[in-house]
Structure 1
Amino acid sequence: MSSLDPYCPDCGAAVARPHTDGCAIARCLYHGGRRLACGSHHRADLELDHACGRDTWTGQWPGEAEAEEFGWWACWDGPGPERGWDYQGQGWVQVPAGTPGAVPDLDRLRTEARWDRDALRWVRRVKH
């Protein structure tokens, strides 16, 4: 499990306290994405016009808990000080839990999970 941070690294909200307006980490509770990127107030389509809600800081980056629960981990295999800045590598690669340097794979949430507005969390997509 990733370590808990007592304060949001962007707005400073304490655990269980709401993020401030303009926080770059706060989620839109309607669709699960970044609240700052939502743009719901700028759309004329009534279906997309929604209140984003007041997301609270949990101590983890949004989606980390679900990625850990689903066993989704990734490591960086690209340019950097470890292998040199000219090393091309593969970028972020999926790895098993326990791999040294692995972090929760948040990219998989968009492709292999869906945002549940009622539960306010990511859930695995049902495969048919």
Structure 2
Amino acid sequence: MPNARDLLAPQPHCPDCEVAIGQPHVEGCDVARCLRTGLQRLSCERKHNCGNDTWSGRWPGEADCERLGWMIGPGLPDLNRLLTEATWNPATRQWDARA
């Protein structure tokens, strides 16, 4: 069984578009997020500029789950809870727990 710390370790390249950490995702990448909604950029149907999301080395929302303490188990962020119980803050580009 892998070490829980290894599960959340930064990955050097995006699993879809293969850009390196700190580089903007390429058009059509299904990992990239809309910086206005926090949701998947590829599926964003709003008529706005989604911004240029960059690969952080971690799956979108993992760091927010860790920060909020929303983990299913060691190394397993509760991304479903994040999307149902948090609000996207476009100014800080992170998910915040609803009051």
Which TM class, normalised by the smaller chain length?
0.7 to 0.9
Answering whether residue 21 of structure 2 is matched by residue 23 of structure 1, we say no
The equivalent position to 2:40 in structure 1, one of 17, 34, 37, is: 34
| Aligned residue in 2 for 1:104 | 77
Structure 1 SS opposite 2:63: helix
Q: Under a length normalisation based on structure 1, what TM-score does the superposition of the two structures give?
A: 0.69
Please state how far the C-alpha of 1:110 moved relative to its aligned partner.
1.6
Give the CA RMSD over aligned residues.
Answer: 1.2
Q: How do 1:1-128 residues align onto structure 2 when only pairs under 5 Å count? A: 2-40=8-46, 49-74=47-72, 97-98=73-74, 102-126=75-99
The Cα shift of 1:106 comes to 0.6
Q: Give every structure 1 segment of 4 or more consecutive aligned residues whose post-TM-superposition deviation is greater than 6 Å.
A: none
- Shift in Å at residue 72 of structure 1? 1.0
**CA-to-aligned-CA distance 1:42-95 (integer Å, 9 cap, x gap):** xxxxxxx21100000000000000001111122xxxxxxxxxxxxxxxxxxxxx
Distance 1:26 1:110 in 2: 16
Aligned length: 93
TM-score by length of 2: 0.88
Bigger mean CA offset, 2-11 vs 65-74: 65-74
Higher relative contact order (CA 8 A, sep 6+): 2
How far apart, in 1, do the equivalents of 2:36 and 2:94 lie?
10
Identity of aligned residues (%): 47
Structure with the greater alpha carbon radius of gyration: 1
Gaps of 5+ in 2: none
Q: Helix, strand or coil for the counterpart of 2:87?
A: strand
> Tell me, which stretches of 5 or more residues in structure 1 are unaligned?
41-48, 75-96
Give the distance between the partners of 2:92 and 2:43, measured in 1 at CA. Answer: 21
How many angstroms does 1:111 deviate by? 1.6
